[in-house]
Amino acid sequence: MLKRPTGFPHCGRGLLGVTALLLALPASSYGQVLEEIVVTARQFEEALEDVPASVSVLTEESLNRAGVERPEDFIRLVPGVTMVNTAEVGDTQVNIRGINGARDAENSYAYIVDGIVLANQVYFNREYGDTAQIEVLKGPQGALYGRNAAAGAFIVTTRRPTDETSARLKASFGEDATYALTANVEGPISDTTYYSVGGNYRSSDGFYTNVFLNDDVVDDFENFDVYGRLIFEPSDDTSIDLKARYGEVDAAAISFNAAFALPDVADVFGNAFGEGFFLFYEDVNTHQFDFLPNIDPQNDQESLLLTAKLDQKVGEYDLTAWVAYSDVDQGFGTDGTSGAFGFFFAEPTCLQTSTDLTLGTDPRVSGPLVLPAPQLLLPSDGSFGLAPIFGPYTPTSCDGTQYQERNQEDLSFEIRLASSRDESFRWLAGLYYLNIDREVGVNLGVEDANNTVVPSLLIPRGQPNATENLLWDNFSSDIFSVFGQLAWDVGDSVEVSLAARWDREEREVENLVPPCDPATGLYCAQYVPDGAGGGGAIPLNPGLDPAFNPDLLPNGRIAPKSRTWDNFSPKLSIRWD
């Protein structure tokens, strides 16, 4: 199955890597270019060359030279790191050294912005116009950054407002009606208080056109963000950093471009019925990316992020504390994948649309349409009609629809105390807490004649896009962590450091699918008739069937579940200069 990234912005610029730039300079220029790079990979500031870990750093200068605006821009500059956008704007999958994230799951890396760990991965896929530095740590980072940091960590530092008033404005445009605008104003409010406000807007029609709808709705994208920052420094020992960010996205969602690769089937049916059935086998190297879905995919997202951070000097020690609140609501609806499984082949809309398109009687096309999969003349519902053999995302109604919601609200805080960095023996200790309330729901629906997706998880029979299969769960998680780090300079050239973290995660899940009422048929859309002749209905979701799930509650609901995990993550590092 072939697919292209959809619902995301793109750019047509070439990127120049920092390494290539340095290699192009004469030897006499090295001293003028190579300056000391300060990083915070180990929760404190130190020179990059002193970090006993694999760290790639993109400074503000290198980000500007490479024209970095989105995450895909800087990912291209980092060896061993890739990313994929194929589902929706909030489900970016990042691969670090072969460890990949999974769709509809939490990320496999830690994401830290200005020292604050953000639990929701949607904030990774944003504009990076206000960025001062990006550090990419490769390899497990659970000892310092905790859960889900098995692949690595991204540490982002944004520009701090200064005591000088300034404004920035950046605008760009490109092919496919791609426009981007970033604006920022910053400066002092008083001798101890500084502010920064800004925003960004981006829109694009995308690379591809839906040739059936004759519209640019395959990978179109539009979003905006507004944000503000306030820094209060009443003394040299105290700094308070307050930030707020709100954003919206209106984009496309999944759009596959499917083709069969079944040479043996093509040989059999090709000999029997003619060359048209060689569509059972198509060379992927010559496949034309002509998108034909009859539904305009939609991906909507709203996000709110509030953070507060305190840096306080307590005698000889450094105290850091922060709190973060995030609320993200997102959903997408698009064509379904059921055409590959035949879920809706008996639906009247499937039979009618496939017949009209194949015979050329659909008013939206001028003649018979060459579909990305063959048709067979077979008996259907007692009559001799066209029955489809389809993949997903066709102009017929045979593939149904799909709709998903993923809403997450989380609250987290951390407090840590560190010794002076000037001592030969250094230490750091901290506490972390995270609460996540996450609701995830997915349905498959019967595609009606209106060729739309209703933004609702549960739709009874008789209404447009009635739900045929439904998953709907609410997850509640509480995470507690204790962590620390010790570092000892053994002589002038050797440092030995030990970091460790203990995590405890308590998770509960509640199934929200309502029970079926066989008497009225209300909310029985997720059921199919009992083919064994026993009457009643059999749920498509086995978890709702007493024959498969003996733990169903008396009201027909799936019983809530809970589980607790404990994890200890140590890390030993030795640095020898």
The string of pLDDT tens digits covering residues 42-56 is: 888 888 888 888 899
What token pair was written down for 353? Answer: 């649309």
Q: What is the pLDDT of residues 200-213, one digit of tens each?
A: 999 999 999 888 88
Q: Could you tell me which residue, 476 or 458, shows the higher pLDDT?
A: 476
| Strand 317-335 relative to strand 298-314, pairing | antiparallel
Query: Cα-Cα-Cα-Cα dihedral of 106, 109, 112, 117, to 10°?
Result: 50
**Does 177 score more than 70 pLDDT?**
yes
**CA gap 365, 355 in Å, rounded:** 13
DSSP 8-state secondary structure symbol assigned to residue 270: H
Share of the chain above pLDDT 90, in %: 47
280-289, 319-328, 464-473, range with the lowest pLDDT: 280-289
Which segment of 106-120, 121-135, 269-283, 301-315 scores lowest on mean pLDDT? 269-283
Closest CA to 88 of 399, 398, 403, 401: 403
Q: Alpha carbon of 329 to those of 120, 434, 443, 497: distances in Å? A: 11, 19, 17, 41
Please state the pTM of the whole predicted model. 0.85
